[in-house]
């Protein structure tokens, strides 16, 4: 019975995690998302920080941000691989991973300790509108539970779940942190999206055109493409099942 409960909790956690990393996409907008997973106590040989990136809900790379190692997972990634912004992006994502790891001990929910740290999931999104305006946001979750949302336009921090209360209290009046988060979402992310779209737009239009490709049945399951990190994530999440049940 315990094994069945653990399996159910693991599947639920996977569902929550991947719902967090889905990016909105519309015909008149383009979005760029970076989905971080910070694992405080990874298994031996596994990275403590993983990033998966998406443009308009399409995966284009996976990255071990702790080691600044990046792997293209689609033709979108191959199209921009080797460009100047591709290299700059890697270093910046490493900085974000280091920042999140450094902040984790002070922002953990009260029901966790340093001996039992939760896994942190973070999604940063920038979205360009057809009128030229760019918006940005951050979402923070612990073990799949979204706790805090940040609107980068006005840096409003909204507690979604009680687990995000410490984050808000620590960051709301910290100008260094809020400036860092705003610059990443409305500065770096916006710049990368603008430059990458120059290479991507033709590919994205071709993929979206019903006259250039045979019809494809789209589903929520199909929107999440397996990547090089997927087996790792399954192993990590399987190890977290007891924590989820206790939390």
Of 18-27, 123-132, 222-231, the poorest mean pLDDT is in 222-231
Which of 23-32, 75-84, 217-226 is predicted most confidently?
Answer: 75-84
The C-alpha atoms of residue 149 and residue 110 are separated, in whole angstroms, by 19
Report residue 70's pLDDT band, with 50, 70 and 90 as the boundaries.
Answer: confident
Least confident of 18-22, 95-99, 112-116: 18-22
Question: Which residue matches tokens 């069945």?
Answer: 4
Residue 28 has pLDDT above 90, yes or no: no
Distances from the Cα of 154 to the Cα of 71, 131, 135, 223, angstroms? 34, 19, 10, 31
pLDDT recorded at residue 182 = 96
CA 130, CA 37: separation in Å to the nearest integer?
31
Q: How confident is the model at residue 133 (pLDDT cuts 50, 70, 90)?
A: confident
- Characterize the bridge pairing of strands 29-38 and 134-142: unpaired
For residue 79, pLDDT over 80 is answered with yes
- The model's pTM: 0.74
Instruction: Please return the burial class of 151, using the count of CB atoms within 10 Å of its CB with bins 0-12, 13-18 and 19+.
Output: middle
Looking at domain 29-207, which CATH architecture does it have? 2-Layer Sandwich (3.30)
Instruction: Tell me the two tokens of residue 225.
Output: 């493409």
Local confidence band at 120 (pLDDT 50, 70, 90 cut-offs): very high
Nearest to 193 by CA among 9, 54, 90, 24: 54
Q: Which two tokens stand for residue 26?
A: 């519309």
Q: What is the reported pLDDT for 208?
A: 60
Of 23 and 38, more confident? 38
Name the token pair of 105: 């001990």
- Report pLDDT digits (tens) over 49-67: 999 999 988 899 999 988 8
Query: How far is C-alpha 36 from the geometric centre of its chain's CA atoms?
Result: 4
Q: Give mean pLDDT, residues 93-102.
A: 94
Percent of the chain's residues with pLDDT above 90: 46
pLDDT of amino acid 207: 64
Question: Can you state the percent helix, strand and coil of the chain, rounding each to 5?
Answer: 45, 25, 30
- pLDDT-derived band at 4 (thresholds 50, 70, 90) equals very low
Place 209 in a pLDDT band, splitting at 50, 70 and 90. low
- 3-class DSSP state of 208: helix
pLDDT of 224 over the 70 cut? no
For residues 220 and 116, which has the higher predicted lDDT (pLDDT)?
A: 116
State both tokens at 8.
Answer: 């159910």
**Long-range pairs of 149-153 with CB within 8 A, sequence gap ≥ 24:** 150/181, 152/126, 152/181, 152/182, 152/185, 152/186, 153/186
Measured in degrees and rounded to the nearest 5, phi and psi for residue 55 equal -120, 125
Is pLDDT of 9 > 60? no
């Amino acid at each position: 019975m315990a094994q069945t409960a653990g399996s159910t909790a693991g599947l639920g956690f996977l569902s929550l995690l991947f719902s967090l990393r889905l990016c909105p996409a519309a015909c008149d907008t383009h979005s760029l998302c970076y989905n971080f997973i910070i694992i405080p106590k990874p298994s031996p040989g596994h990275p403590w920080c993983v990033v998966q990136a998406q443009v308009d809900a399409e995966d284009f790379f996976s990255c071990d941000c702790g080691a600044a190692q990046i792997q293209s997972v689609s033709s979108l990634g191959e199209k921009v691989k080797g460009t100047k912004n591709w290299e700059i992006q890697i270093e910046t994502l490493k900085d974000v991973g280091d920042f999140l790891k450094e902040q984790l001990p002070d922002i953990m929910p009260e029901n966790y300790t340093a001996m039992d740290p939760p896994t942190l999931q973070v999604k940063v999104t920038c979205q360009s509108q057809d009128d030229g305006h760019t918006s940005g946001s951050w979402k923070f979750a612990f073990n799949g539970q979204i706790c805090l949302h940040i609107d980068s336009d006005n840096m409003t921090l909204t507690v979604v779940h009680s687990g995000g209360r410490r984050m808000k209290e620590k960051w709301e009046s910290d100008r260094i942190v809020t400036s860092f988060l705003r610059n990443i979402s409305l500065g770096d992310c916006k710049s990368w999206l603008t430059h990458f779209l120059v290479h991507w737009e033709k590919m994205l239009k071709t993929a979206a055109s019903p006259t250039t490709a045979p019809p494809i049945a789209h589903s929520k399951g199909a929107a999440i493409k397996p990547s090089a990190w997927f087996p790792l994530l399954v192993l990590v999440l399987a190890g977290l099942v007891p924590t989820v049940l206790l939390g």
